[in-house]
Structure 1
């Protein structure tokens, strides 16, 4: 996983790893986050990130932290993200784009997702509809604590929902197939609510829409 604080916050990589382990018994699973917390243009130039990418074989490379204008008034280059997608494929991995969820009370899910579609249109990649899942979950359960106090980063339940969407994207399986995971900070009741929201997000917008030729490597 390459990204910034949205990747590292609330143990998201560990949650994804736990889901993959639980639903793929007998397989060896490791989810590793690049040590630096950077935007994707920074990861492209970061020696540690590149050494990790090239130093061993990966089934998937998850890319988060494409720069975008919070006001919508400016455009940032996607060339760096396109290069990382291509590098992941050259390394034998399936690239997965991780669009962030919207900031609290800001209507930006579509804009963020469309930005990632523009990357996949230049270099095919799977796209996890994470923001859409957050919207479904909050429409059904407005009291869900998906956000950290800053209204931007994920609380534990938000990281759990993002991990469910990444799980569905890399495994090709329904989020409802994930059993309760032993994270004390998200109750079984909330985990069920999150799985059902993730299920409907995947049904509405397939994570494999922009990588239809790619089969799951798990």
Structure 2
């Protein structure tokens, strides 16, 4: 297993969305690109089920630990060749890293099969609209490289029963304007918490995922990337959760993903 990981400390201030006194945030400031933006209309290439996989994550603290557990899921499937997973070193919103040289260089550094994009700004109250220009441009960059762009709507905060669907709808809007696939993380979390309200998925801050939450999210990405039902995964001793909980997670992931469009073109 070749896995390249960058571990960063959780940063509460870089997560989720923000609020503002204005109803509409201004468009991104005009900046001079430090490389040539791709021109043309690039179709969405779905590399699901086309190993060997090479996956890159761009996001904030909600993405930090996902590569660790995702790599264990891939390792457990002996029929898959080695996978490469790398995470962008910075913790930032997609708009903040749009012209960050290190992030641009990473995307163009190799032939990725999947580029995961998380950290679109949003208003948790729904009162503020943030531009999605940066997310759409990152998606276009990935498509120009024939990598499958996968949007990562974050899991809902503890006790918030509307946020999962809110974020799913937000990202469907982005994918409808700039073709991409979506990992329905929030929808899976919503269903799991309905079925198993006594299994805690959050850290004590009510915002970040705990170990169980990270594993549940990683299962969503395993399915979206491979196209394989997670029920085919065996018990994994390296995962620090009870196998009974792991089975419950797999059942919920397979159910939601089977009833949810994943790619929009």
What is the TM-score with the length of structure 2 in the denominator? 0.75
Asked whether the 8 Å contact 2:94–2:135 carries over to 1, the reply is yes
Task: Tell me which of 112, 123, 127 is aligned to 2:178.
Answer: 123
Task: Tell me which of 19, 26, 39 is aligned to 2:93.
Answer: 39
Task: Show CA shifts across 1:78-117 (max 9, x none).
Answer: 0100000000111221000110111111121111111101
Structure 2 counterparts to residues 54-203 of structure 1, below 5 A: 54-106=108-160, 107-203=162-258
CA RMSD of aligned residues (A): 1.4
Structure-1 separation of matches of 2:238 and 2:262? 25
Alpha-carbon offset, residue 59 of structure 1: 0.6
Structure-1 separation of matches of 2:208 and 2:80? 33
Asked whether the 8 Å contact 2:59–2:88 carries over to 1, the reply is yes
Structure-2 separation of matches of 1:37 and 1:24? 32
Asked whether the 8 Å contact 2:72–2:238 carries over to 1, the reply is no
* Larger helix proportion of the pair: 1
- Aligned partner of residue 55 in structure 1, secondary structure: coil
Q: Unaligned stretches of 5+ in structure 1?
A: 212-218
Structure-2 separation of matches of 1:97 and 1:38? 15
Structure-1 separation of matches of 2:155 and 2:101? 28
Change (3 A) 1:206 1:175: farther
Alpha-carbon offset, residue 25 of structure 1: 3.1
Structure-1 separation of matches of 2:208 and 2:101? 26
- Aligned partner of residue 72 in structure 2, secondary structure: helix
Equivalent residues, number: 208
The equivalent residue for 2:61 is 5
Structure-2 separation of matches of 1:184 and 1:163? 12
Larger radius of gyration: 2
Q: Unaligned stretches of 5+ in structure 2?
A: 1-56
Change (3 A) 1:125 1:26: closer
Change (3 A) 1:182 1:48: farther
The equivalent residue for 1:215 is none
- Aligned partner of residue 121 in structure 2, secondary structure: coil
- Aligned partner of residue 112 in structure 2, secondary structure: coil
Change (3 A) 1:26 1:166: closer
Structure-1 separation of matches of 2:183 and 2:72? 18
